[in-house]
Chain A
Amino acid sequence: MSKRGFAKEAEEEVRAMNDTQTDLQGDLLVILRHGPHGSSLLREGLDMALVAAAFGRRVSLLFMGTGCTALVSGQGQGPLGQKGTQATLNMLEMYDIETLLVESEAMHALGLKACDLSLPVIEVSPAQIQAAMTTHRLVATF
């Protein structure tokens, strides 16, 4: 590709990033890096998000790594009847938590597509993840 082509592509990427950045602002970014059932981290992260939202904070969720599996459709109870997290996910909309970001690279690594997930998501690049870190006042990792 020509130098000019590269420059144009970079420019477009920056523009796309700026467009997304305006969407990505908020008070709290909760990063969820674990799937359901294996540990309590996903539940704890979602609980924090709901509590913050209940207090009127603008909350965004970022699913990174295996955390992307938290959104896969058709989740159920554990084999011993342990509660899953699907019910909590269904409550997000009621709490106005609508910015659901998923790490694009992780989705690819896990072989997941947006259509495999139970909620509408925005796939984000590393640059957009970095931007989200600065456009949210607080960042919590789970």
Chain B
Amino acid sequence: MNLHTLNRSPADSRVYQQTLQAMGHDDQLLLIEDGVQGALPQLVRYFEDVEGRVYALKEDLEARGLLGLCADNVHVVDVDGFIELTEQADKTITWY
């Protein structure tokens, strides 16, 4: 299992398409920095192919005032959770 991190918003950048293309069936996706915009209910549909495997970084959501606006099917994790995800993964693949 690989962890993919994505730091661009699906509203701004099409990098998310490359990320999804590279994700295996049990890989996990962590949205960080501007990527956390993808956790908004209006944007989370871009990640429907990997539903249930989408995480968003709490610190980045908080900084942007988005924590309360997250879609229900996105798992919110803090930096410790980020570290746990990297521990569980064989490797971490960065998309930017």
Residues on A close to B: CB < 8 A? 31, 33, 64-65, 103, 105, 126, 129-130, 133-134, 137-139, 141
Complex contacts, B25 vs chain A, CB 8 Å: 130
Q: Determine chain B's interface SS by DSSP, over half rule.
A: mixed
- Alpha-carbon gap, A126 to B17, bound state (A): 11
Whether, in the assembled complex, B23 has its beta carbon less than 8 Å from a beta carbon of chain A, the answer is yes
Complex contacts, B24 vs chain A, CB 8 Å: 130, 133-134
A138 touches B21 (CB 8 A): no
- Alpha-carbon gap, A133 to B4, bound state (A): 11
- Apart from A65-B18, A134-B2, what are 11 other A-B pairs with CB-CB below 8 Å? A33-B18, A126-B21, A129-B21, A133-B27, A134-B24, A134-B90, A138-B91, A139-B2, A139-B91, A139-B93, A141-B94
> A137: nearest residue on chain B (CB-CB)?
B91
A141 touches B93 (CB 8 A): yes
Complex contacts, B2 vs chain A, CB 8 Å: 133-134, 139
Which residues from 1 to 43 on chain B have a C-beta closer than 8 Å to any C-beta of chain A? 2, 14-15, 18, 21-25, 27
How big is the B interface, by class?
A: 10 to 19
- Alpha-carbon gap, A139 to B92, bound state (A): 8
B33–chain A nearest beta-carbon distance, Å: 15
Residue of B22, B90, B94 touching A129 (CB-CB under 8 A): B22
Of listed B15, B23, B93, residue having the most chain A CB within 10 A: B93
> A41: nearest residue on chain B (CB-CB)?
B96
B82–chain A nearest beta-carbon distance, Å: 18
Complex contacts, B91 vs chain A, CB 8 Å: 137-139
Complex contacts, B96 vs chain A, CB 8 Å: 141
B16–chain A nearest beta-carbon distance, Å: 12
Complex contacts, A126 vs chain B, CB 8 Å: 21
Give 26 pairs: A residue, B residue, CB < 8 Å, sorted on A. A31-B22, A33-B18, A65-B14, A65-B18, A103-B21, A105-B21, A126-B21, A129-B21, A129-B22, A130-B21, A130-B22, A130-B23, A130-B24, A130-B25, A133-B2, A133-B22, A133-B24, A133-B27, A134-B2, A134-B24, A137-B91, A138-B91, A139-B2, A139-B91, A141-B93, A141-B96
Of listed B14, B18, B91, B95, residue having the most chain A CB within 10 A: B18
